[in-house]
Amino acid sequence: MIEGSKILLVDDSPEVVELISDFLAPYNCEIYRASTGKQAIEVLSEKHVEIAILDVKLPDIDGIALLDTIRLQDPTVAVVMITGCHDPDLIIEAMKKGASDFLMKPFSIDKLLLGIMKVRKQRELLVEKNSILSDLEDKKKIELLNRQLQTKIAELTKMYHISDKFNSLNIFDDIYEKTILVVNEVLNSEVSGYYIVDHENQQLILYRSRPAHNGHASIEQNISLPAELMEEVKSGKRHFLRNEKAFLSLIIKGEWVGAIMMGGKTNGRVRKHPFSQNDMYFLRLIADKAAMQIENRMLYESLFESVLQTLTSLIIAINRRDMYTEGHCTRVAAMSLALADHLGAAEYEKDVVRVVAPIHDVGKIGIPDIILLKAGNLIDEEYKLMKSHSVYGEEIINRFDILGDEARITRHHHERFDGSGYPDRLAGEEIPYCSRLIALCDTYDAMMTDRPYRKALTREETLAEIKRCRGRQFDPDMADGFVEMMGGGSVGN
């Protein structure tokens, strides 16, 4: 890795230098700092520097010129250039002059770490190569070095592939499926799986797997764990072998939560254990990345649950003012999910419906009781204010950054397919899919419920009204599906 590296940081921004220094602190790196080119040259003349991280724009000496000085003074120093200026010519010039890597500000800490790891490997090989080249007669060493270089490049490529796969995950991706897929791709494992730890029964339970296609390797569904192995894992042991398969434990906040399994080779020959050090190194890297993603997912879900509890509390407050709202939201939520299933909606859309449908009227918290609870018909000014509840709902939900899509769905749940709805008079597919779906179920429940100013319609009357309004108030395909789901017969124009 990068432990113990001697690194020179050159940047006129104290915040950037401090941030990078703090990030490198856990790796026991020896850090030298400079805010000008002159200070950097002094450090280079006094200290043994292995890696230099240089800002292109410095107050006295241009970063490219400083790169020339470093190359003359010690050509083995690996140089990483950083800049906020997106100039391709600048990058080309720096690389021609011997820069090992180039990072554009703002850059992620993961990218910086990969960059330092890469240039350190390059420097180690360069130092060794320079030593070998001093003796031109030793051709065998040069050939060996080239093979080692190819090996290191392959290793770095694998590391990048692993990081890229996990960094590209979004909150809706299946972490466990992605993890075992990466095991197959990176380690050429014919069979892989993810197990959940059952501490009470002391066993691993298979949760996701990619089985062998040729029958050479089988996958155990449940694996009993000896008490001593449980204790070894708790005390720090990360991997163990069983039936020519390797298992790498996932530890989150000190608790053993799962294990990644790999075994076999894609060429059909059973892998002989023990596994190579490289196999275990990359399997551990995959496990660490997976554990980080799983922990982030757990934190997200905890935050999401907290947000929903807050919004639910607001709905309870509305229910205490208007008892109609409580039963209405519950019924609309159940009906919306049923319709989403019937229409074959995507899982993401079903998740959005699960969140929005129960709280779609949360904006009514901002409607005065004299209007919300009025027994008779609303006058124009009162109705105008009542219609603003969808905008209030969006404003409330939008206060939670993780519910941006849900806030937009709430805003548009009173739009009409022909563009005559509110608040934005959207039409057709301009209206979000989930808004159209909830609007249909919302209207159905409203027509089927007694209100102080009118009696409920019968089921037949309500379905007839939905048929009549398909293509005008409602999405015609959704209206057709809804009537079909409710057993209301064929739908026509």
**pLDDT of amino acid 460:** 92
What backbone phi and psi angles, to 5 degrees, belong to 197? -85, 125
**pLDDT of amino acid 271:** 47
> pLDDT above 70 covers what percent of the chain?
87
Q: Is pLDDT of 270 > 70?
A: no
- 474 vs 84, more confident: 474
- Cα–Cα distance measured from residue 68 to residue 91, given in angstroms and rounded to the nearest whole number: 14
- Written as one letter, the residue type at 204 is L
Q: Is pLDDT of 493 > 80?
A: no
Share of the chain residues as helix, strand and coil, in percent rounded to the nearest 5: 55, 15, 30
**pLDDT of amino acid 491:** 39
Q: Prior bond to 106 cis, omega within 30?
A: yes
Contact 359, 329 (CB under 8 A): yes
Give just the sign of the alpha carbon dihedral 393, 394, 399, 405.
positive
Mean pLDDT of 220-242: 76
Q: Is pLDDT of 122 > 90?
A: no
| Every domain of the chain and the residues it spans | 6-148, 175-293, 322-485
Q: Is pLDDT of 235 > 80?
A: no
* Beta-carbon contacts of residue 19 (< 8 Å; ≥ 6 apart): none
The tens digit of pLDDT for each residue in 384-441 reads 888 999 999 899 888 877 788 889 999 999 999 999 999 999 999 999 999 999 999 9
- Cα–Cα distance measured from residue 45 to residue 108, given in angstroms and rounded to the nearest whole number: 31
Give helix 139-167 / helix 277-321 axis angle, nearest 10°. Answer: 10
- 88 vs 266, more confident: 88
Mean pLDDT of 190-213: 81
**pLDDT of amino acid 203:** 85
H-run or E-run covering 442: helix 433-447
Lowest mean pLDDT among 105-109, 132-136, 141-145, 278-282: 132-136
Stated length of the chain: 493
Copy the structure tokens of residue 57: 């724009």
Looking at 344-412, list the stretches that DSSP marks H as alpha helix, in order from N- to C-terminal side: 347-356, 369-372, 380-387, 389-397, 404-411
- Cα–Cα distance measured from residue 169 to residue 289, given in angstroms and rounded to the nearest whole number: 11
Closest listed residue to residue 411, CA positions, set 425, 392, 427, 386:
392
CATH 3.40.50.720 given to domain 175-293: no
The tens digit of pLDDT for each residue in 354-373 reads 889 988 888 888 888 788 77
Contact 410, 393 (CB under 8 A): yes
Fold classification of 322-485 (topology level): Hypothetical protein af1432 (1.10.3210)
* Beta-carbon contacts of residue 358 (< 8 Å; ≥ 6 apart): 312, 315, 329, 330, 332, 333
Domain 6-148 is in which class?
Answer: alpha beta
**pLDDT of amino acid 278:** 76
Lowest mean pLDDT among 116-130, 381-395, 451-465: 116-130
Banded pLDDT at 485 (limits 50, 70, 90): very high
Banded pLDDT at 222 (limits 50, 70, 90): confident
**pLDDT of amino acid 453:** 61
**pLDDT of amino acid 375:** 72
